Chains A and B, each alone.
Chain A
Amino acid sequence: MTFTRHALTLLLATSALALSAASEEKPLPKDLPPYGADRPIPPLNIIQRTLPNGLTVWIVNRPGFPKIASYLAVRGGNAYDPADRQGLTGLMAGLLNEGTATRTSKQIAEELQAIGGELNAFASPDAVFVHGACLGNGLPTLINLLADVTRHPSFPEQEVELAKANTLQGLLAQEAQPAFKANRAFQAALFGPHPYRFASITPDVVKAATPQALRALHASRFQPKQALLVISGDVQEAATLKVITAAFGDWNATGEAPKPLAEAPASSAHQFLLIPRPGSVQSTLRVGRPAVSATHPDYIPMQLANVILGGSFGSRIVKNIREDKGYTYSPGARAAGLQAGGSYMVRADVRTDVTAASLMEIFYEMDRMGTTTVGEAELQSAKRYMGGTYLFQNQMLRALTGTLATYWVNGQKPEALSEFIPKVNAVKAEEVRRIGRTYFAAKDQTIVVVGDEGKAKAELEQFGPVQVQKN
């Protein structure tokens, strides 16, 4: 058993943007008071253990709030499924709660309710996550239930049939959502045959699922050597470890480790894809391309560049197409990093008659990131914003616990938590420009539009050939 203890400190940018130094922008009101001095952030202690069976355990003691959060992560998500069964992992995850060797789904739900608790399992491309929460005094019950659904799910015939029927009906319902259609087409266009193309299970895979197949999949993936358990909250290390050891210590499932995924594509075709949606009053836009993994050196600079380009309320795209032009309500952008690759995506829903005009502005802003250097005030502000939002998110137990679980899946240590902000602060303006040039150039982006075929097609044809995809 290994034992290490780290004091993790979240740090903000050392000094706030000097309010009067924003030379490239209008001066600020003369009476506006300056920011105060930053206060130190108390260190976060994370205890790291490995049980003899190989289960990794991280415990975060954060007193002061009467609830506990947990995340169990198991390597191997939807991207690890064979091409003809992709999404089976997600279906399996959703059924963990629906019955075990000794409990019915109703018993599980009622035991959780009695501790003010919840347990939700889901699959990402890279892993299965089981999130739990409960009142502070429910920890032993939560851990026992978590161990039961993790180790002994039974995939009862009737529950599997119900989950299949509801998934099929749910898929039909989803087809009405423009975002669902847009994301599916976007993922497929970016990743081609790579399993990161996965956006949703298909009806055929649902129909073919059986309790036997789900049990076999569970048995092949769920092994202590491939799993992490994180517990956060007002918990005592020794007592918590005792409960965990009692519940998981004799978990001896073994098997092969999931085979690492091939590297995802690094680029995609510059093309305009139109997915017709009769009756749409808006065009749902996706502009993006494959990018980098969560551990790639460009990942953090790209997150920072994204804050400047489209990932925050004060970003260039939001200012341009919302606050200046009024084309859209909810434009946004994100850089998503997974284990074996990632993607960048700008999104907006715009009224149909400004489809081309909106894309023109998005292209302009994307190109500008690579053709000019961001000013110091805008850069500092973006760094500050990233630090603040990171602190904001991780003050919530669930988010903190989930952040740590995701780090583990990506092969990172909990220290990544304290390294994040210093890495953001070290990014130079030139590096942001290089990110812009390398990843944001309009000529390298794939464009997906879901909308009214007649009107949106004419809008898009101003840029060149449009491929209409009925999906």
Chain B
Amino acid sequence: MRLRSLTAFTLGAALVAGPAAPAQRPSWRLPIEVKTLPNGLTIVVSEDHSLPTVGVSVVYRVGMRLEPKGRTGFAHLFEHMMFQGTPVAPKGVFDRVIQGGGGLNNGSTRYDFTNYIESAPVSALEPILWLEADRLKALDFSPQNLKNQQEVVKEEIRVNVKNQPYGTFWLDLPAAAYSRWENNHDGYGSFEDLDHADLKDVQTFHSTYYAPSNAVLGIAGDVKPAEVFALVEKYFGGIPGKPKPALPDLKEPLNTTEFRQVKTDALARVPAVAVGWKMPARGSRDHAPAAVLSELLIGGDASRIYLGLVKGKELLLNASGGLNFPLGGAWDYDGQTLFSLFSLYKPNADADKVLAAIDEIIAAVASQGITPAELERTKTKMLADFYSDLEIPLSRADALAKAQALWGSAAQLNEIPKLIEGVTVEDLKRVAATYLTRPNRTVIDYHTAAAKP
């Protein structure tokens, strides 16, 4: 999402067969090997020799809501600085070596992590590891590079937010729903804060958060774990260990009063509504039920909101949303997150009608539950999408590194199908009734300028 460049990779596999699953859903498991170096760097390897390619993902445990107070947007600006060269490999070397090796690279900043990804023919693995180790050691803290990327980031915010209708919805919802600064501040950054960032901030941020103990290196593809561990040891082993920075407290109770706001969007031509509910924490008893509920409600053309509001009542032009939408998926966050929905609505609709229809759908699930057949279909689709997200080495490396960084266990990735399987109708009823309530709801209604009173 908040990518270094707009060319987003489509993240999507040889998996090995595992134990049989119920309901005729194929069961697959990734081979996973994990090692932690004495300096604290954890490495996760998943081998697959079907094609001579490799995917690499370095996940740092710092993100939009883990950045220090008073510096909005700094985690993301810093992500850009990671591509600006080092004392040993000046600006340009990184892209040149990876591109020359037939590879692609990118980076992105999310709420709970920042990731740096590469995909290449496996012949480029060793130089890629060298480059990743090099920029973990030190950066070229030059004023020109900082100035350049301050401008680039401002252009990024212009193209994605300021010059787009509803461009702010993913920032508006957390801003209104949460009370803690960590959760509710603008993680893309105010122009004022971005302009005030200085080299000292960049240096401090690097030395605080870019420590081996705060990083996970995921590698998947045509590799042997022992060989990878030896290579990583060679290039990263000499980097001094540092303490893992403390994570801020993100915990907040559910909201007790509905928040509603009307915003006028000067660029929009049709109205839209964004709705968010605070949801359970990652790994809690309600997490997997919330993920299945999200799929049930808004997972696609067979989902209840699509069939009820795009079809059915014909109030919405489209329906997009989900758990941890739009900056991530149901499994790659930590702490709590929102279940968010964003839709353009039609001339015959208004926010009240849309909310009433959604409430009706939620109430039906909370009170009557769903049929076993619908639950099975929903789980099957979730599993199919879960596998798709692990199709290629790059997405496996990234998913494994994220699981290690956020869940504390890369092996947890193989347990997610079981978490999905375990969800019952009673779980869905409980989670719908607990979280998808009116008091816990945040609503932003985007009107067009013409509709302004």
Q: Please list the residues of chain A having a beta carbon within 8 angstroms of any beta carbon in chain B.
A: 12-13, 16-17, 19, 22, 25-26, 28-29, 31-42, 62, 64-67, 97, 105-106, 109-110, 112-118, 133-137, 162, 165-166, 169-170, 172-173, 175-178, 279-282, 284, 312-314, 319, 322-330, 332, 349-351, 377, 380-382, 384-385, 387-389, 391-392, 395-397, 399
Contacts and interface: CB of A to CB of B under 8 A. Distances in A.
A26 B97 CA distance: 12
Given A65-B13, A381-B96, A392-B104, A113 B344 contact: no
B53 A391 contact: yes
B100 A380 contact: yes
Interface residues of B, number: 94
B126 A36 contact: yes
A104 to B, nearest CB: 10
Given A35-B123, A166-B317, A329 B155 contact: yes
Given A32-B127, A42-B51, 7 more contacts: A39-B121, A39-B222, A41-B52, A109-B302, A116-B381, A135-B384, A169-B347
Contacts of A166: 310, 317-318, 346
Pick from B50, B101, B119, B130 the residue with the most CB of A within 10 Å.
Answer: B101
B272 to A, nearest CB: 8
15 contacts: A28-B96, A33-B126, A35-B127, A38-B52, A38-B123, A41-B52, A64-B13, A115-B384, A169-B347, A173-B269, A177-B165, A280-B163, A322-B152, A328-B155, A389-B102
Given A118-B300, A396-B12, A106 B307 contact: yes
Contacts of A391: 51, 53, 102, 121
Contacts of B131: 32
Contact of A12 (B24, B97, B121, B154): B121
Given A67-B388, A324-B148, A25 B96 contact: yes
Interface string B293-309: 00000001110000100
B50 A115 contact: no
B102 A313 contact: no
Nearest to A28: B93
B346 A17 contact: no
Nearest to B147: A326
A106 B311 contact: yes
A387 B164 CA distance: 35
B317 A396 contact: no
Nearest to A399: B10
A20 to B, nearest CB: 12
A329 B99 contact: no
A193 to B, nearest CB: 29
B101 A35 contact: yes
Given A35-B126, A313-B5, A397 B391 contact: yes
A126 B105 CA distance: 33
Interface in B380-435: 380-381, 383-385, 387-388, 391-394
Contacts of A135: 25-26, 380, 383-384, 387
Contact of A332 (B6, B26, B153, B388): B6
B269 A113 contact: no
Contacts of A25: 92, 96
B378 interface: yes
B92 A330 contact: no
A332 B15 CA distance: 35
Going nearest first, the 4 A-B pairs with the smallest beta carbon separation are: A388-B102, A116-B384, A326-B151, A330-B6
A175 B267 CA distance: 9
A64 B50 contact: yes
Contact of A65 (B53, B346, B387): B387
B377 interface: yes
Contacts of A178: 163
B123 A36 contact: yes
Contacts of A137: 24, 26
B147 A114 contact: no
Interface of B: 5-7, 10, 12-15, 24-26, 28, 48, 50-53, 88-93, 95-97, 99-105, 119-127, 130-131, 134, 147-156, 158-160, 162-165, 222, 266-270, 300-302, 307, 310-311, 314, 317-318, 344, 346-347, 376-378, 380-381, 383-385, 387-388, 391-394
A36 B53 contact: no
A388 B121 contact: yes
Contacts of B317: 166, 169-170, 173
Given A31-B88, A38-B52, A332-B6, A281 B123 contact: no
B122 A384 contact: no
B13 A387 contact: no
Pick from B24, B123, B314 the residue with the most CB of A within 10 Å.
Answer: B123
B102 to A, nearest CB: 2
Contacts of A387: 102, 121
A133 B91 CA distance: 42
A117 B5 contact: no
Contact of B99 (A110, A173, A385): A385
A12 B14 CA distance: 22
A113 B383 CA distance: 11
Contacts of B103: 385, 388
Contacts of B314: 162, 165
Contacts of B380: 113-116, 135
Given A36-B123, A66-B387, A110-B302, A19 B270 contact: no
A1 B149 CA distance: 60
Nearest to B234: A33
A392 B142 CA distance: 34
B53 to A, nearest CB: 6
Nearest to A120: B301
Given A66-B15, A67-B387, A327 B151 contact: yes
Pick from A16, A114, A377 the residue with the most CB of B within 10 Å.
Answer: A114
A235 to B, nearest CB: 14
